[in-house]
Amino acid sequence: MPQPINPYCIPGLPSQHNVIAHVAKALGVTIEELMGRDRKGDALIGRQVAQYILRHHYNMSFPAIAKIFRVNHATVYSNCRKVRYDIEFARTYHPKQDSRVYKVVKIVGEI
């Protein structure tokens, strides 16, 4: 029996590298929360990290990522920039384990 199609699976990527599912699992949120519009908590962090990973590790364009998340490409650009700054900050300063920066760097490091 064929597997049901995951609407958040990214075409062209092996299933074990499904970024959205990986980030959701790493933060303990559901895929629906990650793909939603909530602007606080781990769902927001996960959304930003997933967009950064798709952009910088899989070379997807901002408009392509925006289409997946149903947002404007400028939002994706802004989110990627925030994550990049978090990573640069973590290289200079050692963030606390409960901080946003620590979560971001931990997830990006797993990919």
Contacts for 45 with CB less than 8 Å, ≥ 6 apart? 27, 100, 103, 104
Among 14-28, 65-79, 96-110, which range has the highest average pLDDT?
65-79
Q: Is the pLDDT of residue 13 over 70?
A: no
Q: Is the pLDDT of residue 17 over 60?
A: no
d(CA 109, CA 64): 23
Answer yes or no: pTM beyond 0.85: no
Q: What pLDDT sits at residue 26?
A: 83
d(CA 79, CA 98): 20
Task: Tell me what percent of the chain is helix, strand and coil, each rounded to the nearest 5.
Answer: 65, 0, 35
pLDDT category of residue 16 using cuts at 50, 70 and 90: very low
Q: What does the pLDDT look like over 36-60, one tens digit per residue?
A: 888 888 899 889 989 988 898 888 8
